[in-house]
Amino acid sequence: MKRDWELIRGILLQAEAAPAGTHLQVLEAENDKTTLAEVLEHIQLLVDANLLEATVVPGGGPGQGGFIIHRVTWQGHDFLNEAKNDAVWKKVMNQVKEKGGSVSMMVLKEMVSTVFKAYLSGG
């Protein structure tokens, strides 16, 4: 399975929008083609990257399993402060596509930060 940056951003945005103290167990679907297994895997990737605190329960078959998103971490909020700007995000995603479509989270964070700083300075 490949990482889906749009799904990752969507999960983070929904977790950030949740009221303080709530634990998300349901997410709004970005598209009808995303499976529960893909969502679970991407939530686990966000936990691995220290952007979310969550519990993931993998299922034994299609449509099985679940999650509880406890909170967005400090690093998650820092990433979102720059990545939630649609203009910044679109520019970064276009740059990723131009370079072959695959980057690490570390590189993506750097790209988002660079584009965001240019955006703030009017560039």
- Which structure tokens are listed for 41? 């895997």
Of 102, 95, 100, 101, the C-alpha closest to 118 is: 95
38 and 96 within one domain: no
pLDDT, position 123 = 65
CATH number for the domain spanning 40: value is 1.10.10
pLDDT, position 122 = 83
99 and 41 within one domain: no
Which residues of the chain carry a pLDDT beneath 50? Answer: none
pLDDT, position 59 = 76
Range of the domain at 114: 80-120
Domain count, the chain: 2
13 and 52 within one domain: yes
pLDDT, position 33 = 86
pLDDT, position 47 = 97
Strand ranges (DSSP E) for 1-123?
A: 52-58, 65-72
85 and 50 within one domain: no
pLDDT, position 29 = 77
39 and 12 within one domain: yes
Residue 37 burial by Cβ neighbours in a 10 Å radius (0-12, 13-18, 19+): middle
17 and 62 within one domain: yes
pLDDT, position 99 = 83
CB 74 within 8 A of CB 41: no
